[in-house]
Amino acid sequence: MSQHVSSGSIKEPILKDPAAEADIPSGYGKTESYLLPKDPAWLFLFWEITQNTLDCIKQQYSENTLKQAHTVIRLHDITDVAFFDGTNSICYYDMPVIFEARSWYINAPQTGRTYIADLGYVTADGQFILVSRSNPTTLPPGHISNIIDDKWMIVEGDFQKLLKLAGADYIGLGSSERMHVIGERWKLTELTPSGAPSSWSSFSLHLDKVEEEDIWLKADCEIIIYGSASKNAIVTINGKEIELKEGKFSIRQPLPAGSVIDLPIHARNAKGDKTRHIQIKALREQGK
Amino acid sequence: MGNEKGYLALVLHAHLPFIKHPEYPDFLEEDWFYEAMVETYIPLLNVFENLTEEGTDFRLTMSLTPPLCNMMEDPLLIERFRHYLNQRVELSQKELNRTQGTEFEGVARMYFNKFRRYQELFEHRYHGHVLEGFKKFQDMGKLEIITCCATHGYLPLMVHKESVNAQIKIAATDYRSRFGRNPRGIWLAECAYNPGDDKFLRDEGIRFFFTESHGILHGTPRPKYGIYAPVYCPQTGVAAFARDMESAQQVWSAESGYPGDPRYREFYRDLGYDLDYDYIKPYLHSDGVRRNIGMKYHKITGKVALNQKQAYDPYAAREVAAQHAGNFMFNRQKQIEYLSTIIDRKPLVVSMYDAELYGHWWYEGIDFLEYLFKKIYYDQDEIKLVTPSEYLEMYPQNQVVQPSMSSWGDKGYHDVWLNSGNDWIYRHLIKSAERMMELANKFPNASGLLRRALNQLARELVLMQSSDWAFLMTTGTAKEYSTKRTKDHIKRFNELYEQVQGNRINEAYVYELELKDSIFQQMDYNVYSSAAKETVLKKY
C-alpha cells in the first residue's frame, strides 16, 4: 500500500454556520460523516463527532498516545474494491485536519476514482484509530474516454471534428466563458439579419480549425491564509471577526488576475488592552 | 423518414420553485409565478393555438415541473393570478387614453391587446387551468410534456438513493394524475446526472433524459456520434440526449445572442418606476414601493443610460424576431448539412433552454418561436422538428454509453449547488432524508393524524431539497428568501419529527403546515420506506 501526503486540502472560509444563529440545530448528536462530489478534482466532506465518541477513544488509548497522535482525513481510493475493510484500498492519502472544522474540501489525487474518507488519529508509531467512515463517492472522469466501442467505430479524424463542433475543448471552463468562445466562432458565421444566404458557411471555418494542432490551458488561483492565536484572542481579518478552532484559523480567498489582496489581521484579548497585528499582501499580476 | 437531412429537437424547461404564502395577503416572491404566467406560459399556449388554427404543424418538448404544475392548479394562486391579470388589463386600458397621440401609443395598444387575449384564453378557453391547454397540445401529438425531479432536487448530491427514488417516483405519480399517461421523458434538475440514477427512471417507465454536452462526450466508451445522437445507459437502456452548445449560444449569449438586439424591448426600464406615483400605486404591492410591474415602453436602443432609451416599436421588434428565426433556421440547416457529411445517420441537434428566457427575459422570444415553427414548416425541407420519443421510434438502435456525471451549471459539475456559501445545507438535507426513511420504516401502516404528519414530513423534506434555494444562495438574488425557506423547512421537519417520535402530534401544527406547504396533495410517505427501494448507499 502506498502512502502519500495529500496534494492539497483547502479549507473554505470558516463562515458562521447560519444554523448556529437560527433555531435549526448545528448537529444531530451522532458521529457520522458524508462525502460529496463537487467536480472531477474536488470532494466535500462534512462530519459530526460527538463528545461520547471522543471519550470512548480516550478510554481505549493512553493519554500519551493520543497527545502524540495527529488527527487526519485518510482518503482511500477504493475503485473496484468489492468490499472495503479499512485496509484493502488501492492507496490512501492523509491530510491533517482539526475535527472541530466539521467540513473540508478535499482535492482528490485522481479524477474518475471512487473514494471513502476516514476521519481518525495517526499515532506516533503509525497506528490509525478510526473515528468515522464516510459513504463512498465516485468522481467523474473529466475527460474523453480512451475506450473505443468495436461495434460503434468511428474514424479518429471524424470524431475529433465532432468534438470540436460540440465545444469539447472548453468543457470545465465556466459555462459563460465556454459560451463566449463558441460565440466568437459563431459570430464569424452570423448572417446579416436580412437573412441573405452567405456565400461561405460556418463549417468551412470549423474544418480549417480541425486541422490545427490546437492546445489550451486554464489555471486559476486562490490563497489560503492560516494561523493561530492565543485561545481566548478575538481575531479579525479585514475587519471581520473569524472563529478560532482550538486557537487555529484558516480562510480561503479567491485571487482573480490583476487583483491585490491586502489583509490586515488583528488579534486582541477580551479586555481589548493587548493587541497584535500582521499584514498580508498578495498581488496577482494581470497575465494573459 | 422523409427526405430531411436531419432533425432538430427544441426543448424548453419550464420551472419555478413552489412559492405560496397563504399566511400573507400579498407576497413579493409569488410574483415570479404571475409574471411567468403572463409573459411565458400563456403566451406559449397562445402560439400553439395560433399555429394549430392556421394548420402549421410543430413539435416541441417541454418540461412542466411538478412544483409548477402544483402552482398552476392551486386554487389560491389561481385566484391571485386572476387578480394580477385583471389589474394588467385595467391598467393597459387606462394607458390607451394616456398615451393617445404620443410615441407610446403603439406599445400601449400592444399590451392591451395581449393582456385581453391572455385573459380570454385563461378564463374562457382553459377555465383558469392552463394545464388543460398544455395537455390538449400533448394529446394532439405536437407537444411532448416531460416531468422533472419532484421538487427540482439536485440528485448527485443526495447520498441516500431512497431520496433519488422518491424525487422520481413522486414526480411520475404527479404527472400521471395530471396528464393521464406515463411521463416518457424527464428533465433532471439542472441536467445533473449521476451514473446509476437512470435505474430509478426506468422503474417509472421513463425512457429518456437530457444532459449537458460533456455528459455524453465524457461517457464510456467514446460516443460514436458525439452529441448528435442519443446513447443508451448500460443495463437500463434509458436514453440520454445531450445539449447542443452552438444553438444554445445563439440565443443565450449576452454579447452575440439574439436577445441583445437594440430594437428589442428593454427589460430594466419599467412603468412601475416611470409613471406618476398616484396613478401607478394601485398596481404596486401593498407596501407601495415602486417595483417592476411588467409593462415596459422602451427598446434596448444601444449602450445608453436607462433614461436615454427610445420608444419601443412592437412591429419593428416583431420583424427582427422573424429575421432572427430565419437566421437560427439557416444555421441549423448548415450545421446539419455539415454533420451529415461526418456521421452515417441523420444527425439530431438538441436545443435546450429555460422556458422563462422566452417572453420573460427575451420578450420577443415568443414571436421568435412562432416564426421559427412557421419557417421550418413552410420554407424548407432539410430539417425536421422532432420530439425525443419520435426520434427513438425512428432510431431504436443506439450505442450503449455510460454518461458521465455532469450538470449544465457553471463549470459543468456541482459548484453552483455546493460551495462555501451553501454547503451548510447538506448536513440537514441528508439527515432529514435519513430521518424520513427511519419513520417510514417504523410506521409502515400509519393512519389518521399520524399518517397526515408523516405525509407532511415528506412534503417538508422534498421542499427543502429544491435545488433553487442553493442556486439562489450562490447567485445572490433572493439570498435571504432562499436561506429562510431552507431553514423553515428544516425547522418544520425537525419539529414534526420530534412530535411523531414523542407521540405528541399537534394537529393544529400539522394543519398549519398542510395549508402552507401544500404541494403534492397525494403524497404517500411510504415512498421513503426501504421496502420501496433497496438501499444503494453502502456503509462499510
- Could you give the residue ranges of the DSSP H alpha helices within chain A? 18-21, 51-60, 63-68, 156-165, 175-189, 202-211
Domain B6-73+130-257+344-411 in CATH 3.20.110.10: yes
pLDDT recorded at residue B478: 87
Say yes or no for a CB contact (<8 Å) between A182 and B246: yes
Judge whether B122 and B134 are in contact, CB under 8 Å.
no
Q: How far apart are CA B347 and CA B335, in angstroms?
A: 9
CATH number for B417-532 (one of 3.10.20.340, 3.30.70.600, 3.20.20.210, 1.20.1430.10): it is 1.20.1430.10
Q: Determine the longest span between alpha carbons in chain A, in angstroms.
A: 84
A209: left (phi over 0), alpha (psi -120 to 50) or beta: alpha
- On chain B, the residues whose CB falls within 8 A of the CB of A141 are 218, 220, 404
Q: B462 — phi, psi (to 5°)?
A: -65, -35
User: Looking at the predicted structure, is the pLDDT value of residue B62 above 90?
Assistant: yes
pLDDT in tens, B195-206: 999 999 999 999
Label each residue of B489-531 as H, E or C: HHHHHHHHHHHHHCCCCCHHHHHHHHHHCCCCCCCCHHHHCHH
Statement to judge: residues A13 and A127 lie in one domain: yes
What is the pLDDT averaged over residues B156-184?
97
Residue B246 C-alpha cell reads as 452552438
Angle among Cα B167, B173, B176 to the nearest 5 degrees reads 135
pLDDT recorded at residue B519: 98
* Selected residue of A36, A170, A191 to mutate for chain B interface (largest B Cβ count, 10 A): A36
Statement to judge: residues A59 and A84 lie in one domain: yes
Judge whether B187 and B146 are in contact, CB under 8 Å.
yes
Residue B232 C-alpha cell reads as 443508451
The DSSP element (H or E) to which B393 belongs, if any, is helix B388-394
Mean pLDDT, rounded, of chain B: 95
Residue B483 C-alpha cell reads as 436561506
Residue A55 maps to a domain: yes
Statement to judge: residues A109 and A132 lie in one domain: yes
Judge whether B207 and B238 are in contact, CB under 8 Å.
yes
User: Looking at the predicted structure, is the pLDDT value of residue A263 above 90?
Assistant: no
Q: Which residues contact B19 (CB under 8 A, 6 or more apart)?
A: B27, B29, B30, B32, B33, B71
Residue B291: HSE in the Cβ half-sphere, 13 Å Cα cutoff: 13
Do the strands B231-232 and B239-242 form a parallel or antiparallel pair, or are they unpaired? antiparallel
Query: In a 10 Å sphere around its CB, with 0-12 CB exposed, 13-18 middle and 19+ buried, how is residue B170 labelled?
Result: buried
* Selected residue of B154, B232, B246, B537 to mutate for chain A interface (largest A Cβ count, 10 A): B246
pLDDT in tens, A201-252: 222 222 333 334 455 565 666 677 777 788 788 888 877 788 776 677 777 6
Statement to judge: residues A71 and A154 lie in one domain: no
Residue A76 maps to a domain: yes
Torsion of CA A193, A196, A200, A204, to 10 degrees: 60
pLDDT recorded at residue A249: 75
Say yes or no for a CB contact (<8 Å) between A186 and B256: yes
Is residue B337 classed as helix, strand or coil in its secondary structure? helix
pLDDT recorded at residue A246: 65
The residue among A138, A169, A197 that closes a domain is: A138
| Residue in this structure with the C-alpha cell 463562515, named with its chain if needed | A15
Residue B155 CA to chain centroid, in angstroms? 16
pLDDT confidence of A189, banded at 50, 70, 90? very low
Do the strands B208-211 and B231-232 form a parallel or antiparallel pair, or are they unpaired? unpaired
- On chain B, the residues whose CB falls within 8 A of the CB of A12 are 419-420, 423
Task: Of B81-90, B478-487, B524-533, give the range with the top mean pLDDT.
Answer: B81-90
What is the amino acid identity at position B246? Answer: E
Residue B151 C-alpha cell reads as 421538487
Q: Smallest Cβ distance to A195: which of B195, B326, B399?
A: B326
Sign of the Cα torsion A42, B233, A143, B349 reads negative
Say yes or no for a CB contact (<8 Å) between A140 and B244: no
User: Looking at the predicted structure, is the pLDDT value of residue A69 above 80?
Assistant: yes
Output A211 or B36, whichever has higher pLDDT.
B36
The DSSP element (H or E) to which A250 belongs, if any, is strand A248-254
The DSSP element (H or E) to which A47 belongs, if any, is strand A42-48
Q: How far apart are CA A112 and CA B472, in angstroms?
A: 29
pLDDT recorded at residue B408: 93
- On chain A, the residues whose CB falls within 8 A of the CB of B196 are none
- Give the CA radius of gyration of chain A: 25
User: Looking at the predicted structure, is the pLDDT value of residue A2 above 60?
Assistant: no
CB atoms within 10 A of CB B390: 17
Say yes or no for a CB contact (<8 Å) between B406 and A140: yes
The DSSP element (H or E) to which A76 belongs, if any, is strand A70-77
User: Looking at the predicted structure, is the pLDDT value of residue B256 above 90?
Assistant: no
pLDDT in tens, B467-483: 999 999 998 888 999 99
Residue A134 maps to a domain: yes
- On chain A, the residues whose CB falls within 8 A of the CB of B421 are 15
| Residue in this structure with the C-alpha cell 488527527, named with its chain if needed | A71
pLDDT recorded at residue A206: 29
pLDDT confidence of A285, banded at 50, 70, 90? confident
ipTM of this predicted structure: 0.94
Q: Smallest Cβ distance to A46: which of B406, B413, B426?
A: B426
Statement to judge: residues A161 and A133 lie in one domain: no
Judge whether A145 and B219 are in contact, CB under 8 Å.
yes
Statement to judge: residues A154 and A270 lie in one domain: no
Statement to judge: residues A9 and A132 lie in one domain: yes
User: Looking at the predicted structure, is the pLDDT value of residue A167 above 50?
Assistant: yes
Q: How far apart are CA B216 and CA B51, in angstroms?
A: 34
Q: How far apart are CA B194 and CA A138, in angstroms?
A: 9
Read off the CATH number of the domain in which A50 is found. Answer: 2.60.40.10
Domain of residue A110 covers: 2-138
Distance (Å) from the C-alpha of residue A271 to the closest C-alpha of chain B? 32
Q: How far apart are CA B104 and CA B89, in angstroms?
A: 17
- On chain B, the residues whose CB falls within 8 A of the CB of A84 are 540
pLDDT recorded at residue A20: 36
Distance (Å) from the C-alpha of residue B196 to the closest C-alpha of chain A? 11
The DSSP element (H or E) to which B14 belongs, if any, is strand B6-14
What is the pLDDT averaged over residues B159-180?
97
Residues facing residue A152 across a β-bridge = none
pLDDT in tens, B230-239: 999 999 999 9
pLDDT recorded at residue B345: 95
User: Looking at the predicted structure, is the pLDDT value of residue A194 above 50?
Assistant: no
Distance (Å) from the C-alpha of residue A273 to the closest C-alpha of chain B? 34
Judge whether B265 and B300 are in contact, CB under 8 Å.
yes
Q: How far apart are CA B150 and CA B403, in angstroms?
A: 22
Do the strands A42-48 and A70-77 form a parallel or antiparallel pair, or are they unpaired? unpaired
Closest residue on chain B to A38 (Cα): B414
What is the pLDDT averaged over residues B15-41?
94
Say yes or no for a CB contact (<8 Å) between B431 and A38: no
User: Looking at the predicted structure, is the pLDDT value of residue A58 above 80?
Assistant: yes
Residue B252 C-alpha cell reads as 443565450
Closest residue on chain A to B244 (Cα): A166
pLDDT confidence of A76, banded at 50, 70, 90? very high
Say yes or no for a CB contact (<8 Å) between B410 and A174: yes
Q: How far apart are CA A102 and CA A95, in angstroms?
A: 14
Q: How far apart are CA B417 and CA B475, in angstroms?
A: 10
Statement to judge: residues A179 and A242 lie in one domain: no
Residue A216 maps to a domain: no
Residue A145 maps to a domain: no
Residues facing residue B352 across a β-bridge = B11
Statement to judge: residues A15 and A67 lie in one domain: yes
Q: How far apart are CA B419 and CA A8, in angstroms?
A: 17
Is residue B350 classed as helix, strand or coil in its secondary structure? strand
Q: How far apart are CA B98 and CA B92, in angstroms?
A: 10
pLDDT recorded at residue A25: 92
Statement to judge: residues A84 and A129 lie in one domain: yes
pLDDT recorded at residue A7: 28
Q: How far apart are CA B220 and CA B222, in angstroms?
A: 5
What is the pLDDT averaged over residues A57-70?
95
Residues facing residue B362 across a β-bridge = B358
Q: Report how many Cβ contacts below 8 Å link chain A to chain B.
A: 216
First to last CA, chain B: 52
Judge whether B151 and B465 are in contact, CB under 8 Å.
yes
The per-residue b/e assignment along B235-264, b for 16 or more CB within 10 angstroms, e otherwise, is: ebebbbbbbbbbbbbbbbbeebbbbebebb
Q: A243 — phi, psi (to 5°)?
A: -85, 135
Q: How far apart are CA A198 and CA A193, in angstroms?
A: 11
Residue A205 maps to a domain: yes
What is the edge-to-edge ordering of all strands in the sheet holding A275-283? A240-242, A234-237, A260-268, A275-283
Statement to judge: residues A115 and A10 lie in one domain: yes
Per-domain residue ranges of chain B = 6-73+130-257+344-411, 75-128, 271-308, 417-532
Say yes or no for a CB contact (<8 Å) between A162 and B342: yes
What is the pLDDT averaged over residues B401-427?
95
Q: What percent of chain B stands above pLDDT 90? A: 92
Read off the CATH number of the domain in which A262 is found. Answer: 2.60.40.3110
Residue A123 maps to a domain: yes
- On chain B, the residues whose CB falls within 8 A of the CB of A140 are 218, 404-406, 413
Statement to judge: residues A229 and A207 lie in one domain: no
Output A261 or B303, whichever has higher pLDDT.
B303
Which letter does DSSP use for residue B59 in this model? -
What is the pLDDT averaged over residues B292-310?
95
Q: Which of A105, A135, A123 is nearest to A250 (CA)?
A: A105
- On chain A, the residues whose CB falls within 8 A of the CB of B221 are 145, 147-149, 152
What is the amino acid identity at position B503? Answer: N
Domain count across chain A: 3
Residue A143 maps to a domain: no
Which letter does DSSP use for residue A15 in this model? P
What is the amino acid identity at position A245? Answer: K
Say yes or no for a CB contact (<8 Å) between A171 and B410: no
Distance (Å) from the C-alpha of residue A162 to the closest C-alpha of chain B? 6
- On chain A, the residues whose CB falls within 8 A of the CB of B408 are 175
What is the pLDDT averaged over residues A84-92?
94
Say yes or no for a CB contact (<8 Å) between A158 and B342: yes
pLDDT in tens, B444-453: 999 999 999 9
- Give the CA radius of gyration of chain B: 24
pLDDT in tens, A127-142: 999 999 999 999 999 9
Is residue A225 classed as helix, strand or coil in its secondary structure? strand
pLDDT in tens, B140-159: 999 999 999 999 999 999 99
Mean pLDDT, rounded, of chain A: 76
CA distances from A9 to A107, A226, B71, B145, B324 (A): 6, 13, 44, 45, 49
Distance (Å) from the C-alpha of residue B422 to the closest C-alpha of chain A? 10
Q: A260 — phi, psi (to 5°)?
A: -120, 130
Q: Which of A36, A27, A61 is nearest to A131 (CA)?
A: A61
User: Looking at the predicted structure, is the pLDDT value of residue B113 above 50?
Assistant: yes
pLDDT confidence of B20, banded at 50, 70, 90? very high
Sign of the Cα torsion B283, B286, B287, B288 reads positive
pLDDT recorded at residue B412: 93
pLDDT recorded at residue A258: 66
Q: How far apart are CA B108 and CA B295, in angstroms?
A: 9
